[in-house]
Amino acid sequence: MKETSIKKRTLLMSALALATAVATLSGAAHAQDFPPKKPVTLVVGFAAGGAADAAARLIAKKLGENIGQSVVVDNKGGAGGNIAHQFVANAPADGSVLLLGSVGPLTIAPHLMKVNYDPFKDLAAVSGGVNFPNVLVVHKGAGVKTLAEFVQLSKKKPGSVDFASTGAGSASHLAGELFNQRAGIDMTHVPYKGGAPALQDLLGERVTSYFAAPPTALPHIEAGKLIPLATTGLTRPSYMPNIPTVAEAGYPGFEALNWYAFVAPGKTPAPLLDRWNQEIVKVLNDPSVKDALNKHGLTPQPTTRAELTAFMKKESTQWATIIKERKLTAD
């Protein structure tokens, strides 16, 4: 009787172990389904109509066509993109959620303010997305036409020259602070709640300068209402061939790009991250997509997962140094 009872218990335990193993394997296989067997969401941390949204919708459409499943863009604006990054950090790690992350929340905000996510632990790199430089513009009343004249004015009247940004910790804010450091000047930072009010006050001559996104500044430059001094990439963008870069204008190596990159919840399995990398790189290399992005002033930046991680760490280190040296706060 005892032997029979032991055998029964042994068989029962074996059956339970087998069932557990099958469930585990089934769960793992299900977690790594590609494309996911549920709707795919591409989260964007900014409102519809901006550069990030335009890029996301162009890329999502082609991604959906390629994988045979719709990819829905979900705009979760607020807090300079931090809300969207926190949302995705806590989202299901099954490959169904991607984020078009941005320079601010990924590499600037964590050094400037308290955020409830770690970009390198709670989010996983997938691929680079797109980038574009800012253009430093001043209103006509500033009385300067070159970057050298702008620096001279700033040194002649310390503290009287200011620059607008789309908010503390934004790319336009840190571009200005980096230029403060490199040029040895002390422009005053004037944060706004977005590009529209910043541009409006610049046109109204209530602020001296602004490191603006080219698509929004170009119409006013062409109309003669704003004076472009320099762009912030290492090379001149094709749509602004006559405007020098900050590097060309006397500050070698200066670079402060706006960039967006694809990330996923941090615990997403590596095989899924690799598959999404393949699909996103394929889309970014598609001639029709590249052409459409270029028309929006956006340069495709496909990368491997490792390349994106290394790039983010480099950017994070640069901005951490600037924030510390300039004693910046989120106020």
pLDDT tens sequence across 301-329: 999 999 999 999 999 999 999 999 989 88
Spatial distance between the Cα atoms of 215 and 146, rounded to a whole number of angstroms: 21
Burial 170-182 (b: 16+ CB within 10 A, else e): bbbbbbbbbbbeb
Question: Is residue 6 scored above 60 in pLDDT?
Answer: no
Q: Mean pLDDT across the chain, nearest whole number?
A: 90
- Please give the pLDDT value at position 8: 54
- Please give the pLDDT value at position 4: 54
The stretch 254-278 carries a mean pLDDT of: 97
Spatial distance between the Cα atoms of 273 and 322, rounded to a whole number of angstroms: 32
Question: Is residue 14 scored above 80 in pLDDT?
Answer: no
The stretch 96-113 carries a mean pLDDT of: 95
Question: Is residue 20 scored above 70 in pLDDT?
Answer: no
- Please give the pLDDT value at position 11: 54
The stretch 140-166 carries a mean pLDDT of: 94
Per-residue pLDDT of 207-260, as tens digits, reads 999 999 888 899 999 999 999 999 999 999 988 999 999 999 999 999 999 999
pLDDT band of residue 30 (cuts 50, 70, 90) is: very low
Question: How do beta strands 209-212 and 123-133 pair?
Answer: unpaired
The secondary structure of residue 68, as a DSSP letter, is T
The stretch 41-61 carries a mean pLDDT of: 90
Sheet of strand 299-300: strand arrangement = 71-75, 40-44, 97-102, 257-265, 123-133, 299-300
Question: Is residue 29 scored above 80 in pLDDT?
Answer: no
Take residue 144 and report the two structure tokens written for it: 């300067």
pLDDT band of residue 147 (cuts 50, 70, 90) is: very high
pLDDT band of residue 281 (cuts 50, 70, 90) is: very high
